[in-house]
Amino acid sequence: MSLTVDEIHVADAPDAWARAGFTVDAAGEAAPCCRVGGVRIRMVGSNHGSGIVGWSLGGLPAGFSGELDGITTARSDDCGAVPSVASPAAPAEHANGVTAIDHVVLLSPDPDRTVAAMEAVGERPRRERRGELGGQPIRQIFFRFGEVIVEVVGAPVAAGDGPSTLWGITYVTADIDATAAFFGERTAPVKPAVQPGRRITTVRHRELDISVRTAMISARH
C-alpha cells in the first residue's frame, strides 16, 4: 500500500488562515484545522516553530521511527488522524477557491539520501528532472503520496548532512484568476506554470501572517 498525506502540521494561528480564505474547523479537533481535498492542515501555533513542522502519513510500515529524513512524521493511526484510505477527511469549500493540494515541496541537502529514506518506507520516485532555482541548478524528484505529489528539491550533488524540511504547499484552485483577484496585491501576477496548460501565482504569505510558502495553480485539464 502506498503512503498518503493525511495531515500537514503548520506553526500558524487559525485566524490567519481564515483571513486568507481557508475554512477553518475548530470543533472537536486536537488543534484547529482546515480540510483541503482529503488532507487536513492542522494549525498547531507559532510556539511550535515556523512553517510546516511535520506531517501525518498513512501506510507507514510497522516499526517506523518517527522521522522521515529528519522531518517529524507521525503515523496517522498514532495521532488521531483518520487514514485517508479508510475514511477520507471531508473536503471543505474555501473562499479563496482552493480545491486540493497539488504538491508539497520538500527541500533536501542530499537528494540521494532522501530518495533512500523514501524507498525504505516503500515509496519509489515517479520521475526526475533537472532545473534552475534562482539561477542555480537543482534536481527535482517526484513522489506520489495518495492525492498529493511530494516534490523533493535539492542540489545536483549533496550539499550538506542536515535534515530535510517541508518548504511549501501549492494548491489547486478552481479558477486561478478568481483566486488571484481574491488575494489582490498579495499575489504575484499569474503566469504559465512549468506544467503545460496550467497557470500559477505565488501568494505573499507573510503579508497574511502565514509562515508557509504558498502558491496557487490552475487545475489539470
What DSSP line would sit under 37-88, residue for residue? TTEEEEE--GGG-SSEEEEEEESPPTT--SEETTEEEEEHHHHTPPPTTTSP
- All three cell numbers of 46, joined, read 507559532
What pTM, to 2 d.p., does this model score? 0.91
Domain CATH code at residue 37: 3.10.180.10
Contact 56, 110 (CB under 8 A): no
Cα separation, 179 vs 184, whole angstroms: 9
Residue-averaged pLDDT of the chain? 91
Q: What is the pLDDT of residue 79?
A: 52
pLDDT at 87 over 50: no
What's the pLDDT at 90? 60
Residue 128 near residue 141 (C-beta atoms within 8 A): yes
Per-residue pLDDT tens for 11-69? 999 999 999 999 999 755 578 999 999 999 999 999 999 999 999 999 999 889 899 99
Q: How confident is the model at residue 84 (pLDDT cuts 50, 70, 90)?
A: very low
Higher pLDDT: 72 or 160? It is: 72
Q: Is the pLDDT of residue 190 over 70?
A: yes
In this model, does residue 81 exceed pLDDT 70? Answer: no
Q: Where are the beta strands (DSSP E) in 127-195?
A: 127-133, 136-145, 148-154, 165-173, 191-192
State the total domains in the chain.
1
Q: What was the pLDDT predicted at 82?
A: 42
Give the pLDDT confidence of 92-149 residue by residue, as tens digits: 899 999 999 999 999 999 999 999 999 999 999 999 999 888 888 999 999 999 999 9
Contacts 24+ apart (CB under 8 A), 139-146: 139/111, 141/111, 141/114, 141/115, 142/103, 143/118, 144/2, 145/2, 145/3, 145/4, 145/5, 145/57, 146/2, 146/3, 146/4, 146/5, 146/38, 146/58, 146/84, 146/85
Boundaries of domain holding 170: 4-218
- Give the pLDDT score at 80: 47
Q: What is the pLDDT of residues 175-186, one digit of tens each?
A: 999 999 999 999
Query: What pLDDT does residue 31 have?
Result: 86
